[in-house]
Amino acid sequence: MPRNLQSADLKSEIQNPKSEVSSPLTFQPIFVERLWGGRRLESEFGKKLPAQRPIGESWEIADRPEAQSIVRAGPLRGKTLHELWTQYRDEIFGDVPNSPRFPLLLKLLDAHDKLSLQVHPPERIAETLGGEAKTEFWYVAAADRGAEIYLGFRESITREQFEKALCEGTAADHVHKIRVKAGDAVLLPAGRFHAAGAGILLIEVQQNSDTTYRVFDWNRQDDAGKLRQLHVVQALRCIDFADVRPQLLHGEAELLLRHDLFEIQKWTLDSSREIISHAQFAIVCCLTGSLTCARVDLTPGEFFLVPAQLRDREVKPTNPGTSLLRITIPPDS
């Protein structure tokens, strides 16, 4: 786990939190119980999960009205991500697009069982439905042999044909399935019909949204014996029925994805390397090995936020075979 900095080193910052930040920021994870979740976040990443409950998600960096990431160490310990965003924007985030809340939400997902077939709304439709637009990225951290994701449609289909399949209970027959392994990545633009199959551990980077419209949930029941709520009417308005046989991402060199909302790179660290340029922040997720930056350590499944005004921006591998995801918001977005 990240090492706490000594309070003596940060005396001036405690007196004036807006002074230059001297270390990356780490946050307390928020665990979310899901019907399809398991215990893999504990066995793979060492998370201290609530006992005997199926945990499907760990919200690692979140600025939601219902869920706030809290700084776990340093002079800003106890501050919420929203407080950082509203009170220390320049110091921590630098030159970023203006928005009411931090625009990204980062999670770990443990799909012990398969997720519901679902869609997230595009911008043009979300507001009319009372929801929030959501585009997301998945990186496969681990996957059982033969694990699959469901992505778009396997053949051209009209809305009317798909509605008929829903009524007949055959909607899953029309989804495009792709086998995945650790290291695979995929973009899920708003409007893409999708689900994660069983036996997959995912790192998710997404718009700051929690709007999901479920189409089919495999007839699962909750603890009370009830079927989960579906949102078929809303989903049919959002699904891109022309999205046929989409593929996994095939990045160039270190770049996995450059999108208006976020840029994601995968680095393999053989030596020290500067993670950000001046006036830019970055979020780092350790994938393998271990690394350190300004006396804060990361191991697999851990995240930290590197502030824009941090002087020591070098990340250093502390074990062979260290790799990471580097998440930023493009300055021209």
Active-site annotation, residues: 214
C-beta contacts of 31-35 below 8 A and 24+ residues apart:
31/55, 31/57, 31/58, 31/59, 32/56, 32/57, 32/58, 32/59, 35/113, 35/220, 35/222, 35/228
| Contacts (Cβ under 8 Å, ≥6 apart) of 36 | 54, 56, 111, 112, 113, 114, 115, 116, 198, 220
Between CA 107 and CA 128 the distance in angstroms is 27
The strand ranges marked E within 39-89 are 55-61, 63-64, 67-68
Quote the DSSP letter at residue 6. Answer: P
| Contacts (Cβ under 8 Å, ≥6 apart) of 80 | 63, 68, 69, 70, 71
